[in-house]
Chains A and B, each alone.
Chain A
Amino acid sequence: MIGRLFRDEAALLPKDAGGAPWLASLIAVLCFLACLAAVGAVAADRAAQGWTRALRAEATVQVRPRVGETGPAAAARAAETLAGVPGVEEARALDRRAAEALLRPWLGEAALTDLPVPFLVTVRLDRDGPASAVSLSRALAQAGLEASVDDHSLWRREAERSAAVVAALAFTAFALTALAAGAAVAYATRSGLEAQARTIRILSLNGASDRAIAWLFMRRYGLLAAGAGAIGALVAGALVAGLRTLGGPRGLTPALPLAWSDVILLSPCPLIAFTLAVLAAGAAASRRLRSATAGG
């Protein structure tokens, strides 16, 4: 099979029978775009996982001091209580200045002077076995503290949903470009069959089966697509490598963190392009040859 694939000492199809440079260029561009879409999907998923992991590893507790207890004292007691809960790595009470620094971007300097700033405790959770919001609330209640726990689940769900949408869009783009490449090959195969009608008739009359004739086109377009796919993947790989080098592990933007493994991810592109082209050419050739023989 492999031997037959590359045996071309006297190609039965003329060199210019389809597979023109325009098709190779088109497939190379489509493969380049498909590679970028694939890397985009992987990077979006990686970013979402990073954000989710960061959100899952933190919780914020707002403490409401009881009568006779100051806010900073209640916050300090809450931090001490939470530090002892399994699944908590660190609990730290924010002083007023730190709390104001958090609120300043949202409320502005003027509002802060008149506003009762909440007493906050930031909790860093164990990444492998984080404490749940329920266990934190229970511990605070048992310590006689009135407080509300925010485990960032709302933001986490939003981040996960956004990442899923981006990944779905990237996958759709990948599938559409693959479909476009397949359609281009199918179109080129049909054109090639039309243009080579005389050659096909001669081959057929000399004993070539429809399957053998279809294989000629499958082989021609499969190898062409593999070559074009390799070029598209190489260019995309160079671009990804460049961005990874320029931007470091976080990429040029935190929304698309790139990894060196993304370059390796592109390596199956020529094989995928070959398979897709072989299937598209085979389907187009078989349909065309079947209708030709049925028509007599």
Chain B
Amino acid sequence: MPPSARRVSEAPSDSPDAAVRMEGVSFGYAEARPVLRDVNLTLPEGSFHFLTGASGAGKSSLLKLLTLQLRPTAGTVELFGEDVTRLRPRLAHMVRRRLGVVHQDFDLLDHLSVWHNAALPLRLAGGRTIDYGPDVEEMLRWVGLGERMAARPSELSGGERQRLAIARAVVARPRLILADEPTGSVDAAMAERLLKLFQSLNRLGTTVLIASHDEVLAERSGATVLRLEDGELRS
């Protein structure tokens, strides 16, 4: 059991608020076809969802709306009952500290070691190395990177980098994990292993939303599958 996930399970799971609520959300770039149209979505806390759709269907844009990288052109986005569309940009970090995000291209800092990459959210939240160090090491061992803590991301394989990105996403005990194509660059066996990792986190109470074009994996996961087609959500 991952140390951080163990603490996630301690978070109140009977909150009346949904982890994610999107109402009438549309998004588009100026003078281009809308990327998302009138999306209505509710993810209860502790749920596990797959978001599927063809390339360009709007999966990444939807995740970027949830990570506050984009703002909707219409509608509201709520995270844990808080309307983040009205949030001042300078306060975005307060919301992001409650999220664990696995990016499509991993987004690791190449000048930092594996250990420092994994510890990043805890360090940025103002924690002290002496306090979070053991958690980081345990998390890295849990994802199978216990022997690579001093390595640089550039020295890792694609699968190892993926696992490092996941370790970083969950190390700060987030209430919601958002993963964008987390199995996109790994083989089937590794994809299966990563899916099990997300499932185990979800069983411990963490809300998980995975955007993936792999419909077979989504069906096999047992999670609720949402489909985005031409910017519209169909379940």
Q: Which A residues have a C-beta under 8 Å from some C-beta of B?
A: 10-12, 14-15, 198-199, 201-212, 290, 293-294, 296
Q: Is B163 at the interface (CB under 8 A from chain A)? A: no
Chain A residue nearest in CB terms to B98 = A207
User: In whole Å, how far is A39's beta carbon from the nearest beta carbon of chain B?
Assistant: 41
Closest 8 CB pairs of A and B: A293-B89, A207-B97, A209-B93, A14-B111, A207-B124, A10-B116, A208-B124, A206-B121
* Binary contact readout B90-115 vs A (1 if CB under 8 angstroms, 0 otherwise): 10110011000101000111111100
- 15 additional A-B pairs beyond A202-B108, A205-B107, A290-B89, beta carbons within 8 Å, are A10-B113, A12-B109, A199-B109, A201-B107, A205-B67, A206-B96, A206-B120, A207-B172, A209-B90, A209-B93, A210-B90, A212-B93, A212-B124, A293-B89, A296-B71
Bound-complex Cα distance A294 to B92 (A): 11
Q: Which B residues have a C-beta under 8 Å from some C-beta of A?
A: 67, 69-71, 89-90, 92-93, 96-97, 101, 103, 107-113, 116, 120-121, 123-125, 168, 172
Residues of A within 8 A of B123 (CB): 12
The answer on a CB contact under 8 Å between B96 and A207 is yes
The answer on a CB contact under 8 Å between B89 and A294 is yes
Bound-complex Cα distance A233 to B121 (A): 40
Instruction: Name 15 A/B residue pairs within 8 A (Cβ), A-sorted.
Output: A12-B112, A15-B111, A202-B107, A202-B109, A204-B92, A204-B93, A205-B96, A206-B96, A206-B124, A208-B124, A210-B89, A210-B90, A211-B90, A294-B89, A296-B71
Contacting residue for A207 out of B107, B109, B125, CB 8 A: B125
Residues of B within 8 A of A199 (CB): 109
The answer on a CB contact under 8 Å between B70 and A296 is yes
Chain A residue nearest in CB terms to B120 = A206
